[in-house]
Amino acid sequence: MVNHGVVLDLIEQLGRTPAGSTITLDVASGASDADEIADNVDMIATWCRASGNELVESRSDAVVVRHGRSADVLAGLDPDQVPGTRLWMYTNFDCNLHCDYCCVSSSPQTDRRALGADRIARLAAEAEQAGVRELILTGGEPFLLPDIDELVATCTAHLPTTLLTNGMLFRGARLERLRRMDRERLTLQISLDSATSEQHDAHRGPHAWERAVAGIGLALDEGFDVKVAATLPAEQTHEVAPFKAFLGTLGIRPENQVIRAVAHQGAADDGIELTVESLIPEVTITAEGVWWHPVSATDESQFVRREIFPLADAIADVRQRFVRHRETADRAADWFPCS
């Protein structure tokens, strides 16, 4: 038999609860068996639908009800932050460098694990259909691939594309591949960590700085839009202003200067901790599958799924997990108040 007192209890408790917060209500107390508990839950679900409140969770002996409806988690993001707005693709994982804070542990000895032309072509086409607005190719060092110009052409045929590189390999056949790339639809993002060679080379290897600076100059001279991305260890954060001034002298516009901290991922011994709970996801594809974010594309705790295709399903999966994480965090906050 339905216990109408449960609903009265619920109304009273919700009346004392701020909009958007949740309460946990005992639905087993006074019930004689499981059927009676189920009837109570059904009645509460019906009442929630009729009254504009949200039944968040139903357990064997309790329900969690939100006063009103949950905010739209995705609507609360900047449009550029909505997962699936940008699609990251790891073209390969091997690299000519062996940086000591590489977030995916790349090096000359790292297995290539190439995503491959066929998958990149299908991803670029499906990304356009799925509403992705930008493709981003990263590695490893993409210029190690003999077909990197063709991979880029495949991507720029569909969407504006950014190609991440350490900028050190623009010679010989690799320079010719660079010269074949689309200057209208492609941005090159080159890594450079400091205004002088000491800090950059300390983490990336001897002469890496001078070759990266030369690569930036060459790319600009070739007519490419160039971003510079710096990874700053904690001891370098006071050097941001002079570093930005230096980038200005190289011809890098302020909006093309990306400066971020070292993340505790991959080869890095320390750095900021980034988890699925703290990171807004950016859908990332590797040869192994779909990952939460490019900074964590070898961190098993941030692996999303093995199936890459259909891409729209992979994007939907990441969005749903993100919404669930945020709602769980909200509920946890309600269940463990500070006073």
SS3 content of the chain, % helix, strand, coil (to 5): 40, 20, 40
The distance of closest approach from Cβ of residue 230 to ligand SF4 in the complex, given in angstroms and rounded to an integer, is 11
Q: How many residues sit in the footprint of ligand SF4 (CB under 6 A)?
A: 12
The distance of closest approach from Cβ of residue 316 to ligand SF4 in the complex, given in angstroms and rounded to an integer, is 29
The distance of closest approach from Cβ of residue 319 to ligand SF4 in the complex, given in angstroms and rounded to an integer, is 28
Q: Which stretch binds ligand SF4 (CB under 6 A): 66-74, 139-147, 247-255, 319-327?
A: 139-147
Question: What is the SS3 assignment for 287?
Answer: coil
Q: Which stretch binds ligand SF4 (CB under 6 A): 94-102, 175-183, 283-291, 323-331?
A: 94-102
137 binds ligand SF4 (CB under 6 A): no
Among 6, 10, 56, 99, binds ligand SF4 (CB under 6 A): 99
Which residue number, 96 or 256, has a Cβ lying nearer to ligand SF4? 96
95 binds ligand SF4 (CB under 6 A): yes
The distance of closest approach from Cβ of residue 52 to ligand SF4 in the complex, given in angstroms and rounded to an integer, is 50
Q: What is the DSSP secondary structure assignment for residue 281, as one 8-state letter?
A: P
Measured distance CA(167)–CA(170) in Å, rounded: 7
Q: Give the residue from 185, 204, 181 showing the smallest Cα distance to 194.
A: 204
Q: What is the DSSP secondary structure assignment for residue 263, as one 8-state letter?
A: B
Question: What is the SS3 assignment for 4?
Answer: helix
**Residues within window 146-185 making contact with ligand SF4, judged by CB under 6 A:** 166
Which is it for strands 303-305 and 284-286: parallel, antiparallel or unpaired? Answer: unpaired
Tokens of 217: 């100059």
Tokens of 166: 């350490």
102 binds ligand SF4 (CB under 6 A): yes
Is 105 within 8 Å of 298 (Cβ atoms)?
yes
Plot region of 207 (φ>0 → left; ψ -120 to 50 → alpha; else → beta): left
Which residue number, 156 or 191, has a Cβ lying nearer to ligand SF4? 191
Which residue number, 139 or 281, has a Cβ lying nearer to ligand SF4? 139
Tokens of 239: 């050097």
Q: Which stretch binds ligand SF4 (CB under 6 A): 63-71, 137-145, 213-221, 300-308?
A: 137-145
106 binds ligand SF4 (CB under 6 A): yes
Full DSSP string of 5-54: HHHHHHHHHHHTS-TT-EEEEE-STT--SHHHHHHHHHHHHHHHHHHT-E
Which residue number, 141 or 239, has a Cβ lying nearer to ligand SF4? 141
Measured distance CA(183)–CA(224) in Å, rounded: 5
189 binds ligand SF4 (CB under 6 A): no
140 binds ligand SF4 (CB under 6 A): yes
Which residues contact ligand SF4 by CB under 6 A? 95, 97-99, 102, 106, 139-141, 166, 191, 204
